[in-house]
């Protein structure tokens, strides 16, 4: 397994760090598996959100270029290659998108290729001024991967998705924010503090309600208005029955901030 993926649990947050900063945190297929395993393990903790970040000056340079010339197709059939991609890249991006906890992307520096796909798949993507995002598979003669064809058009629309993936153009943090790829762009020297404020705000929120919020928004693009309203009513009724809701009502009546316990 990978030695370049670190995991930490503190203050109700699981932080997964791609940690090979001297090389820009490139990702091997072992790294994909390690991040996937860390996300799976987070389900069994008392964490209320997950942070995905890169060490040093980059989020991630994407798939490790040192192994890109070693085509999977040389070792097996087209079917084998498809299975490899689905077992590694696609299983990871699916886990990010469907994970029951909010996944926050701290994108401080370049996020290129596969890493760009993972970055925009995060529920709350946060960037610094030195962030650069590029869907650059085309520069290697490739199409796209890591759920980009699913997530990107939903964020920026069909035309811009075509342009960004067909040119492989790199966009800076401000442009990424304007396009809706990230929520905020913070000054680099303030990034950790400002991003962690948002992480803490989510981590201190009502965990049961947060899970329902994520699922409602995640499925909204494939849901009719009537079904969306029905789903909201069902999930809101479930949350009405929680102690967190009752406790919040009492606290707000007294002019106090509620403390959510996930009950």
Distance separating alpha carbons of residues 21 and 209, to the nearest angstrom: 36
189: tokens are 């020297």
pLDDT confidence of residue 73:
46
The three-state (H, E, C) secondary structure of the chain, written as one string:
CCCCEEEEEECCEEEEEECCHHHCCCECHHHHHHHHHHHHHHCCCCCCEEEEEECCCCCECCECHHHCCCCHHHCCCHHHHHHHHHHHHHHHHHHHHHCCCCEEEEECCEEECHHHHHHHHCCEEEEECCCEEECHHHHHCCCCCCCHHHHHHHHHCHHHHHHHHHHCCEEEHHHHHHHCCCCEEECHHHHHHHHHHHHHHHHCCCHHHHHHHHHHHHCHHHCCHHHHHHHHHHHHHHHHCCHHHHHHHHHHHCCCCCCCCCC
pLDDT confidence of residue 125:
98
Backbone angles phi, psi at 18, to 5 degrees: -80, 115
- Mind listing the pLDDT tens digit for each residue in 43-71? 999 999 999 999 999 999 988 877 555 44
218: tokens are 């995640």
pLDDT confidence of residue 48:
94
pLDDT confidence of residue 246:
86
- pTM above the 0.75 mark? yes
Biggest CA-to-CA distance, the chain: 68
pLDDT confidence of residue 75:
56
In tens digits, what is the pLDDT along the chain, a chain of 263 residues?
578 899 999 999 999 999 999 999 999 889 999 999 999 999 999 999 999 999 999 999 988 877 555 444 455 566 566 667 666 778 899 999 999 999 999 999 999 999 999 999 999 999 999 999 999 999 889 888 889 999 999 999 999 999 999 999 999 999 999 999 999 999 999 999 999 999 999 999 999 999 999 999 999 988 999 999 999 999 999 988 888 888 888 877 887 777 788 77
pLDDT confidence of residue 76:
59
């Amino acid at each position: 397994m990978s030695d370049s993926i670190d995991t930490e649990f503190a203050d109700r947050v699981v932080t997964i760090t791609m940690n090979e900063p001297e090389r820009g945190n490139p990702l091997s297929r072992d790294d994909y598996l390690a991040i996937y395993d860390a996300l799976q393990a987070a389900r069994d903790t008392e964490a209320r959100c997950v942070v995905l970040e890169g060490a040093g000056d980059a989020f991630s340079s994407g798939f490790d270029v040192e192994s890109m010339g070693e085509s999977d197709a040389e070792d097996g059939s087209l079917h084998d290659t498809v299975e490899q991609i689905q077992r590694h890249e696609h299983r990871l991006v699916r886990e990010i998108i469907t994970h029951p906890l909010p996944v926050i992307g701290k994108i401080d520096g370049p996020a290129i290729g596969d890493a760009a796909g993972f970055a925009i798949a995060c529920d709350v993507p946060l960037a610094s001024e030195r962030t650069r995002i590029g869907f650059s598979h085309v520069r290697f003669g490739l199409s796209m991967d890591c759920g980009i064809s699913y997530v990107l058009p939903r964020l920026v629309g069909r035309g811009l998705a075509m342009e960004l993936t067909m040119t492989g153009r790199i966009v800076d943090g401000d442009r990424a924010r304007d396009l809706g790829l990230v929520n905020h762009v913070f000054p680099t020297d303030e990034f950790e503090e400002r991003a962690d404020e948002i992480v803490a705000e989510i981590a201190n929120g009502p965990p049961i309600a947060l899970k329902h919020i994520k699922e409602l928004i995640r499925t909204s693009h494939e849901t009719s208005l009537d079904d969306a309203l029905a789903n909201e009513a069902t999930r809101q009724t479930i949350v009405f029955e929680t102690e967190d809701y009752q406790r919040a009502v009492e606290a707000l009546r007294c002019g106090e901030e509620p403390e959510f316990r996930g009950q």
